[in-house]
Amino acid sequence: MQSSANISQPKLPRLEIDPFSESFLTDPFRYHPQMRDVGPIFWLDSIGAYGVARHEEVTQVLKNHETFVSSRGVGLADFAKEKPFRPPSLLLEADPPLHDRTRNLMNRIVAMPVLKALENDWRGKAKTLVAELIEKDTFDAVTDLAEEFPMRVFPDAVGLMDEGRDHLLTYASIVFNAFGPKNEIFHSGMADADAAISWVTEACKRENLKPDGWGEAVFQSADRGDCTHAEAERLVRSLLSAGVDTTVNGISNLMYGFTQFPDEFGKMDTSQSSTRRAFNEGLRWRSTVQTFFRTAAHETSLAGVTIPEGSKVLTFLAAANRDERRWDNPEAFSVTRNASGHVGFGHGIHVCLGQMVARMEADALLSALREKITRITSAGPPVIRLNNTLCSIASLPVKLEKVG
Ligand code: HEM
């Protein structure tokens, strides 16, 4: 697939791969070796953007937030030229100094003491769900477990209104599709968009948030002058866009790992260090967030290649997480591996704000499962859900083997 080198930039290989095609998104891992091996940076004709797929260059781009900015959008659209489909995120699509202010504020909303206060409740809810599931012969690890658990804990933590919470999953899939081109996948995801977008808009308003959740806490920060009330609404929206589908698919992909490597589940124990390691490995092995773009704020050079101002650079997080230059035996899912250093939660100043939230959900669920289960095996073929950014599974039939 590699054609002749770019004449003006001799070091730049060109790839004909379309990273937003159905074939690529169905199995991106099949294409990653070629992307990593062709060179540290390449040009993607299909989208008119640079790409980086090795761990070294992906982390370099993400670390260098002054050159590779987020405020021009972390999708294919350049906000300097195109109006985004919604007002930009004050976190994900912002640069310092605005980002410093909003990030500091939001770090306090999901700080460790806040999370610790919820831990027992989440562990109890995980045990209840597992008790329900082990009664079944087989079940769907996506709909019955990976979607069910975050939906039982996350909307309550934010303090969302009870009615219409299912819109959260639709909304998140719209947001993550919108980082890619306006292809068929994007358009089919827009089918229920209006209802989901208006539900989320309403849900972020102060009058619709419950008094003891993270959402109201953001508005209390606004009362203290840390942000405006309009900004508070948009910051609550960030929790809703980024906090559900990511975790759902993080858990789904981990369950898929257990079915593909059936001896791994039993190597985990119920301790937090063990469940945390397993979750990290799941995010490395099959990264939920596959890609994010950055835009060059000025002309720069990366791996010897000159990148003009305004260029989009696509960072392949999932490919970096299986880079054999960084990991031993990267294709293997191994729950005892120390996967720290993976970029499944990003890297640099935009590294996932909610990673402790996601980790606490996973810890609760995995330890509840491990207490009762020795093995998770496949009970039917998985169904992939196409999304322009997320590695998503629609259905994963599984069977559990009980302890004793
Ligand atoms: C397994 C679950 C999750 C994964 C894989 C994930 C992944 C990511 C990644 C890769 C980024 C970096 C974006 C970039 O560099 O442009 C990010 C940022 C972010 N995440 Fe997560 N995330 C997860 C869960 C959550 C949760 C539960 C929340 C909310 C409580 C959340 C909120 C955010 C926010 C607000 C940002 C933007 C941070 C910033 O720009 O400073 N995420 N996440």
Asked if 349 and 96 count as a contact pair (C-beta separation under 8 A), the reply is yes
What's the pLDDT at 84? 87
Expressed in angstroms and rounded, the spacing between residue 6 Cα and the centre of ligand 1 is 35
Task: Indicate which atom in ligand 1 lies nearest the CA of residue 103.
Answer: 41
| CA 225 to centroid of ligand 1, rounded, Å | 25
CA 353 – ligand 1 centroid, Å: 5
Q: Closest residue (by CA) to atom 3 of ligand 1?
A: 246
C-alpha of residue 89 to centroid of ligand 1, in Å: 12
345 CA distance to ligand 1 middle (Å): 6
Quote the CA–CA distance of 123 and 69 in Å, as a whole number.
39
**pLDDT for position 8:** 52
What total number of domains does the chain contain? Answer: 1
pLDDT score recorded for residue 18 = 98
- Ligand 1: residue of 107, 353, 389, 392 to mutate (most ligand atoms within 8 A of CB) is 353
Q: How far is the CA of 9 from the centre of ligand 1 (A)?
A: 34
What pLDDT is recorded for position 56?
98
- Looking at residue 144, what DSSP letter applies? I
pTM: 0.96
How far does CA 14 lie from the centroid of its chain?
Answer: 27
The pLDDT of residue 5 is 42
Sheet holding 373-378, edge to edge: 138-140, 397-402, 373-378
Give the closest residue (by CA) to ligand 1 atom 30: 354
CB 50 within 8 A of CB 313: yes
> What's the whole-number average pLDDT of the chain?
96
CATH number of residue 377's parent domain: 1.10.630.10
Atom of ligand 1 nearest to the CA of 214: 30
Gap from CA of 295 to ligand 1 centroid (Å): 19
CB 288 within 8 A of CB 173: no
**Encoded tokens for 301:** 């050079």
Contact 126, 364 (CB under 8 A): yes
d(CA 330, CA 133): 32
Q: pLDDT tens-digit profile of 235-276?
A: 999 999 999 999 999 999 999 999 999 999 999 999 999 999
Ligand 1 environment, Cβ below 6 A: 62, 70, 74, 91-92, 103, 110, 238-239, 242-243, 246-247, 250, 283, 288-289, 292, 344-346, 350, 352-354, 357-358
Look up the domain containing 200 and give its range: 4-402
pLDDT attached to residue 116: 97
Q: What is the pLDDT along the chain (404 residues), one digit of tens a residue?
A: 444 444 455 479 999 999 999 999 999 999 999 999 999 999 999 999 999 999 999 999 999 999 999 999 999 999 999 988 789 999 999 999 999 999 999 999 999 999 999 999 999 999 999 999 999 989 999 999 999 999 999 999 999 999 999 999 999 999 999 999 999 999 998 887 999 999 999 999 999 999 999 999 999 999 999 999 999 999 999 999 999 999 999 999 999 999 999 999 999 999 999 999 999 999 999 999 999 999 999 999 999 999 999 999 999 999 999 999 999 999 999 999 999 999 999 999 999 999 999 999 999 999 999 999 999 999 999 999 999 999 999 999 999 999 98
- Residue 1 is predicted with a pLDDT of 40
pLDDT 10s digits, 376-385: 999 999 999 9
Q: Atom 6 (ligand 1): residue with closest C-alpha?
A: 345
For the CA of 357, the closest atom of ligand 1 is 27
What is residue 297's DSSP assignment? S
304's torsion region: left (phi>0), alpha (psi -120 to 50) or beta?
left
What pLDDT is stored for residue 308 in this prediction? 97
Residues belonging to the chain: 404
> Cis peptide leading into 40, omega within 30 of 0?
no
Q: Which of 71, 246, 276, 316 to mutate to test the pocket of ligand 1 (most atoms within 8 A of CB)?
A: 246
**What is the residue with the minimal CA distance to atom 43 of ligand 1?**
352
Nearest Cα neighbor of 91 from 114, 65, 116 is 65
Ligand 1 atom with least separation from CA of 348: 15
Q: For residue 350, how far is its CA from the centre of ligand 1 (angstroms)?
A: 8
CA distance 295 to 272: 38
DSSP state of 122: H
Distance in angstroms between the alpha carbons of the first and the last residue of the chain: 53
Q: What SS3 state is found at 299?
A: coil
Q: Give yes or no for a contact between 153 and 125, defined as CB atoms under 8 angstroms apart.
A: yes
Substitution candidate for ligand 1 out of 76, 352, 387 with most atoms within 8 A of CB: 352
Query: Which atom of ligand 1 is least distant from the CA of 343?
Result: 10
Asked if 342 and 289 touch (Cβ cutoff 8 Å), the reply is: no
What is the residue with the minimal CA distance to atom 39 of ligand 1? 350
- Secondary structure string (H, E, C) spanning 182-213: CCHHHHHHCCCHHHHHHHHHHHCCHHHCCCCC
Percent of the chain with pLDDT over 90: 94
Nearest by Cα to 105 from 91, 125, 87: 91
C-alpha 200 to ligand 1 mean position (Å): 18
